Chain A
Amino acid sequence: MAQILAVLEQRQGTLRKVSLEVLAAARTLADQLGGGATVDGLVFGTGAVEGTAALGKAGADRVLLAAHPDFGLYNPDGFAATTASIGGSYAVIVFPATASGRDLAPRVAAKLGVACATDVTEVGVEGGKVSAVRPVYAGKALQRVVLGGAPAVLSIRPNTFAVAQAADRADAATAALDVPSFTQRVTVKEVKAPAQSTLDVAEASIIVSGGRGLKEPGNFKLIEELAAAFGTAAVGASRAVVDAGWREHAAQVGQTGKTVAPSLYVAVGISGAIQHLAGMRTSKVIVAINKDKDAPIFKVADYGIVGDLFEIVPRLTEEIKKIRAEH
């Protein structure tokens, strides 16, 4: 019977949403592999983590809790050693392609001597082997791969797998997992709050991005105000304004920045260079505001407004505030 290990992520004792997405991908693979394949969720922490039983509904059959006093923050060596210590007995290991997951998955794959397919957006089974689709060239092309190793190691891109909530599935039983002895070479000392936006563009469901059309860094206030009007929206930026030092690189959307797939992407004063479009073209709905009606951004936008952003954006902010207050 095939077993699948889903490596989950928690922060301060609370599971992150991407953990449910990892379970959804793992469950998909378990169902396609058939033969009663089961899914184990693996959680690291200093002690108990809230809500593990409810992970049953999201696809887990069992939750393994690896508790260690040094597992309060991400512990690359400890997490990798623990995952690798049990990883060999699984058919598949699924990680989230988050900051930690992108660091952890290749560590575990190297320890187990197997290949790793990173940042995948689709999973499947072909001829008994795990297959995956992964955007390459910043999403300008989609690569289909088959993993021949055992276990097959992959990481899934956040915001692409729909969270499952199967009411008929039982709660997941939690079992303690022994943490093997490991050599800690790398230590995460602390996590500092960033200087600018607190909501990460890679995880946000609404993104408002600004580009050179804003003319000067101070005008990003318009973007921030529009993002605030939506409630929880992240502020993104084009490469041009990041290179000019207006915004931190963390906010950059595109080939040398982040690839995003929010439900709503609002591009303000962004002409739509090919490397920017690559990073946001899988957004569900794209809105563009630009003074140039021939700007490439309008070719990918579902809705566009041509005109002066300095007149349009404040009006949009007001209307969004109004409609959100009414409903």
Chain B
Amino acid sequence: MQLDWVWGLIGGLLIGTGGAVFLLANGRIMGASGIIGGLVDGSGWTVWQERVAFLAGVVLLPVLLYPLYANGVETNVTDNWGVLIAAGILVGLGTRIANGCTSGHGVCGISRLSLRGIVATVAYIVAGGVGVVLFRHGLGMI
């Protein structure tokens, strides 16, 4: 679609607004992997309600918006479970080792000019680019 970048920009502004609310109201950095990971490994159980409420909002709004899309929403996800499982483990483990993902290191980190956020973002974009090129054009797997 021609207007994809416009929706991308609008969506991005909403994402950043969510991050601004979470920072200024709750005093938290909006990092998806940290919010989920703290619930998974128990390190964030002292503020579990806040984390669950945040994640409920992340799930709920797409549920509410979905009916507005008459043609459905394409996710184009692979049906190769081996790839999905390997990718999921890499994402879960990697974001916890690095202490952040696209939202925490990328959106929240770079916007405060954090050197760690910038280094992490460059590393995961380069790794992602090499991964896609290698597995798509090199091995034809994805």
Please say whether chains A and B are actual partners in one complex.
no
- List the interface of chain B (C-beta within 8 A of A): none
- List the interface of chain A (C-beta within 8 A of B): none
